[in-house]
Copies of this chain bind each other. A is one copy, B any other.
Amino acid sequence: MTMYDTTAPAAPVVPTRGRLRPLGLGEVTITDGFWARRQRVNGEATLEHIESRLESEGWLGNFDLAASGKLPAGRRGREFADSEIYKYLEAVAWEIGRRDADASSPLEQRFRAIVARVAAAQEPDGYLNTNFGRPGQRERWSDLEWGHELYCLGHLFQAAVARVRTRPDADDGLIEIARRAAELVCREFGIGGREGICGHAEVEVGLAELGRALGERRFVEQAALFVERHGRGSLRDIEWGRKYYQDDTPVRDADALRGHAVRANYLSAGASDVAVETDDDALLSSLRRQWDRTVERRTYITGGQGSHHQDEAFGDDWELPADRAYSETCAGIGSIMFSWRLLLATGEAAYADLIERTLFNVVATSPAPDGKAFYYANTLHQRVPGIPADPSATSSRASSSLRAPWFEVSCCPPNVARTFASLDAYVATADDDGVQLHQYATGRVRTVLPDGRVVAFDVQTDYPADGRVRITIAQDAEFTLTMRIPTWADGARLVVGGAGEDAAPGTASVRRAFRAGDVIELALPVAPRVTAPDPRVDAVRGCVVVERGPEVLALESVDLGADVGDAVLAGEPVERDGSVVLPVRNRSTDSVSEVPLVAYHDWAQRGPSTMRVWVPTS
């Protein structure tokens, strides 16, 4: 049994340097509220739903066929199907850590059973993929453009990282499976080996973190090699150009994220890790500039990214059609991965702002309340009511269906699951003198600063329904508590020890010798507000969106009693009886009525409807 550094936080990203240190599961525990409800559904329903589909679709069975030498006959699913198993394993590993499930728990047993099936499929030299390399299959690494072999391994590595960080002493074997595969990747693609990259970035971020988790510097260096090789044109040119897989321009020379939105974000996340681990400030600066431009010009009000259906890609600057928003759930998760790494590196609140926007309006939008159906794409304007998805079928990615239980390309459900299972680790960070609260949720924070001070406090809030956040110190200690004040929260107030003060957007810090029982009250103004688009966004000119706190609101036909195409703004939104109502004129009847808005993440939960986020003003 190998032992790893058990002092590292139980978190997906643990850089060796940077402005902030992440707090992992156990240090932060979300106990109630908006995200706790979603985490509960994720743990109780989504994980089982995913495993059952991985089994019934035969994607898990591919590993058994590989082990018994029966492939390629009978292999099922797309070329990247293996990765869904790894993302699921990652989700379960975090869930085990989050619940602190013991070795005899059903969750742990399910995890081990799948790891055993994966292990049996690994080749003696460490290679692991059910789609390549056997008689009757294509050769290993023969289709770097579309084969997704390295992509799948990247997800394997992230699953192993989750295991190292939550159960470093487990004897299930996942960590060694990943190590052997990573060693193979280094042999095959290291200096002097194949000078290729994968058509879908992911191995970079996986290798870098596995290297951090296992203390294997060469994995980080291999990640750096892959990052540097992008933009050299080693991948074949295709209809959408090499920018589709970010092989058009070297990462450090690019000025914005471009091409396939998931690929672009995964690569940027991996490049951020590499920049941090190699002290490459030029690369980090470039990534920050790219983030700035991408958020300013290529990101929906929801935080969603990707406006092309065809290539699941970013459009040009300002090309943000509401009705053809692709805004893939996985691109939102990739964006959070990228932003989180920049936040750890720099400490700047803007990254946490985007994470919050994306969590509430992309990631939370995807799953149905029962956790068993998902949006793959997240349009901002639905003109034709969706149709219920066939529960027994695999749906199209951006079909006209409502949330669907499973997709032929089913990357999003396990991606949501691993994000929810590890969400505690995105709430707060620490530095040498205190703790930074980036997201607001009821729960506990308990950590020890490098000099031994114990920081312990509880958070109580109904956020985002209510903007008040009450922080109660649980143990005497002198430290700095820093709270993010979202950009939208003009007029935020902070009350410490009875004394109130204004808190401007950015961060607000309180440093003192806290006593157990001290209370810090933050009041974020979540009254509905009207937001106009940048005039350079052509698609929503003459429209506004109503937001409330971190939530984007939507107008649904079921509330309007008419098609949302007939709706015109007729006044200011007001809060009434716990919901936001908007005066809306019906263009067809010319009548005005007050229509309740729903949080965008809750749309289409009452059956088929038309919906719009941007409402015309005239």
Please give the residue numbers on chain A whose beta carbons come within 8 Å of chain B beta carbons, in ascending order: 239-241, 307-310, 315-319, 321-324, 381, 383-384, 396-397, 399-400, 408, 535-536, 538-543, 565, 587, 614, 616
Contacts and interface: CB of A to CB of B under 8 A. Distances in A.
Nearest to A612: B538
Contacts of A538: 322-323, 381, 539-540, 543, 614, 616
B239 A397 contact: yes
Contact of A241 (B324, B384, B399): B399
Nearest to A568: B535
A317 B616 CA distance: 17
A203 B99 CA distance: 63
B383 A317 contact: yes
Given A316-B384, A538-B323, A396 B565 contact: no
A399 B587 contact: no
Per assembly, the copies of the chain total 2
A209 to B, nearest CB: 33
A478 B13 CA distance: 89
A535 B590 CA distance: 14
Given A316-B383, A539-B539, 8 more contacts: A239-B396, A240-B396, A241-B396, A241-B400, A316-B384, A321-B321, A381-B538, A538-B616
A240 to B, nearest CB: 7
Contacts of A535: 587, 616
Which 7 residue pairs are nearest across A and B when measured between Cβ atoms?
Answer: A542-B542, A310-B310, A541-B542, A309-B310, A316-B383, A239-B396, A321-B321
A616 B536 CA distance: 10
A399 B248 CA distance: 15
A483 to B, nearest CB: 37
Contacts of A541: 540-543, 616
Contacts of A321: 321, 323-324, 539
A376 to B, nearest CB: 11
A587 B241 CA distance: 32
Contact of A315 (B241, B323, B397, B408): B323
A239 B404 CA distance: 14
Given A239-B397, A539-B539, A318 B565 contact: yes
A324 B324 contact: yes
A329 to B, nearest CB: 17
A587 B318 CA distance: 15
A72 B565 CA distance: 52
A56 to B, nearest CB: 20
A6 B289 CA distance: 71
A289 B227 CA distance: 56
Contacts of A384: 316-317
Nearest to A535: B587
Contacts of A614: 538
A137 to B, nearest CB: 22
B539 A239 contact: no
A124 to B, nearest CB: 37
Nearest to A616: B541
